[in-house]
Amino acid sequence: MAQTRAVLAAFLFLLINLVEGPAYNMVNVEAGHEAVLSCPDVPKMPLLMVTWKTKCSACCLLAYRSDSNETRKLNCSERMMWKYSPDSNPALRIYPVNVGDEGNYSCEIVNGAGNFLLFSSLTVIVPPTVTLTCDKTRVAACQASAGKPAADISWIPANNHSTEEEVHHPNGTVTRVSYISWVDSTLPTVTCLVTHPATNQTLSLDLSCTSPRLPYLLIGGCASVAAVSGVTLCLIFRCRAFRLRKLTRGSAVPFATKNFRSIPSRNKTEAANPPVLSESIYQNYNPRMIYMNY
């Protein structure tokens, strides 16, 4: 009786698949995350074989046979493997997933009730890199780089005079840029809103940074700093030169010998013009007792 019910259930399941066609599964995963693709639900009967395939020129084949307990892997990345045990739940795991993994996958299960097939379509989402800049003419540019799909860009406050550009990259990502001019606006800030399936970002920019006075202030400040620095350096070198000259003059003649005797001046003329020291002054000259000012 139990066998009859199992056969009837398998027959009904097979009939539904024939009428409705193969099941189809949509999977969306962000790049760098884990993608798990499921196999079809089958009647509770012993598994004979399960096979994963990808539709491409060099197809990936991942198969398991329960009778020989054998696993076969052909042209598959190391990032692709069973999520669980293939004989209990043969889901496919891809980690980390990238744009190159995008495509269609099929899981086929064979058991005593027949062959069961499930198709999965994997879509990889790539969050964009968002930047907001402004030039001196007060034209703001909001850029969402290398996103998949392309991001939507809007402005706060809303403006109908914005223009957009798109660049499509070979890997399927898209860079979108929105430009808007705020020349006639007195708004102090502008806000860019980027909407994407993987992320929503809001960036604000201070429009005062584009004021033409700022470069002149920067130039004036730099000139002032340079002038002060130049005067300071001049004073330092001048003082050093004066000190060196003074030291040089003071050390030109040796002094302070041990038995140094001075000759008193006889008159004012001699005092004003001291005579040249005679050799007798240095009669007790000792080189070790001479000191020089350096």
Per-residue model confidence as pLDDT tens digits over 176-228:
999 998 877 777 888 999 999 999 999 998 877 554 433 333 334 444 444 44
Say yes or no: 143 and 203 in one domain.
Answer: yes
The answer on pLDDT for 83 being more than 70 is yes
Say yes or no: 200 and 274 in one domain.
Answer: no
Strands 80-82 and 61-65: unpaired
Q: What is the structure's pLDDT at 272?
A: 47
Q: Which amino acid is at 143?
A: Q
Token pair for 69: 């307990």
| DSSP SS3 for 55 | coil
Say yes or no: 88 and 183 in one domain.
Answer: no
Residue 247 lies in a domain: no
Say yes or no: 156 and 91 in one domain.
Answer: no
- Single pTM value for the model: 0.60
Residue 234 lies in a domain: yes
- Residue 126 is classified by DSSP as B
Residue 246 lies in a domain: no
**pLDDT tier at 85, thresholds 50, 70, 90:** confident
| DSSP SS3 for 156 | strand
Q: For residues 226 and 149, what is the distance between their CA atoms, to the nearest angstrom?
A: 52
Cα separations in angstroms, 100 against 128, 171, 184: 17, 8, 46
| DSSP SS3 for 11 | helix
Share of the chain above pLDDT 90, in %: 42
Say yes or no: 134 and 121 in one domain.
Answer: no
Residue 79 lies in a domain: yes
| Mean pLDDT rounded to a whole number for the chain | 75
**pLDDT tier at 35, thresholds 50, 70, 90:** very high
Q: Which residues contact 3 (CB under 8 A, 6 or more apart)?
A: none
Q: For residues 159 and 50, what is the distance between their CA atoms, to the nearest angstrom?
A: 56
Q: For residues 91 and 85, what is the distance between their CA atoms, to the nearest angstrom?
A: 8
What mean pLDDT comes out for the span 151-161?
88
Q: What is the structure's pLDDT at 239?
A: 52
Residue of 93 and 183 predicted with greater confidence: 93
Q: Which residues contact 53 (CB under 8 A, 6 or more apart)?
A: 59, 60, 61, 105, 106, 108
What mean pLDDT comes out for the span 24-47?
91
The CATH number of residue 73's host domain is: 2.60.40.10
The answer on pLDDT for 255 being more than 80 is no
Q: For residues 51 and 64, what is the distance between their CA atoms, to the nearest angstrom?
A: 7
- Partner residues linked to 184 by β-bridges: none
Say yes or no: 192 and 233 in one domain.
Answer: no
Can you give the residue range of the structural domain that contains 223? 212-241
Residue of 177 and 276 predicted with greater confidence: 177
Q: What is the structure's pLDDT at 184?
A: 73
Say yes or no: 217 and 289 in one domain.
Answer: no
Domain end, chosen from 93, 125, 157, is at 125
Say yes or no: 39 and 154 in one domain.
Answer: no
Q: For residues 118 and 123, what is the distance between their CA atoms, to the nearest angstrom?
A: 16
Q: What is the structure's pLDDT at 248?
A: 53
What mean pLDDT comes out for the span 235-250?
56
Residue 102 lies in a domain: yes
| Domain count for the chain | 4
- 81-85, 273-277, 280-284: which has the minimum mean pLDDT? 280-284
In the block, tokens 């509770």 appear at 44
In the block, tokens 């003071």 appear at 250
Say yes or no: 8 and 113 in one domain.
Answer: yes
Q: For residues 37 and 95, what is the distance between their CA atoms, to the nearest angstrom?
A: 12
What mean pLDDT comes out for the span 134-148?
91
Say yes or no: 169 and 194 in one domain.
Answer: yes
Strands 139-147 and 200-206: unpaired
Say yes or no: 89 and 152 in one domain.
Answer: no
Token pair for 37: 């693709």
Q: What is the structure's pLDDT at 153?
A: 96
Residue of 215 and 140 predicted with greater confidence: 140
Say yes or no: 185 and 201 in one domain.
Answer: yes
Q: What is the structure's pLDDT at 217?
A: 35
Q: What is the structure's pLDDT at 223?
A: 42
Token pair for 31: 């790049």
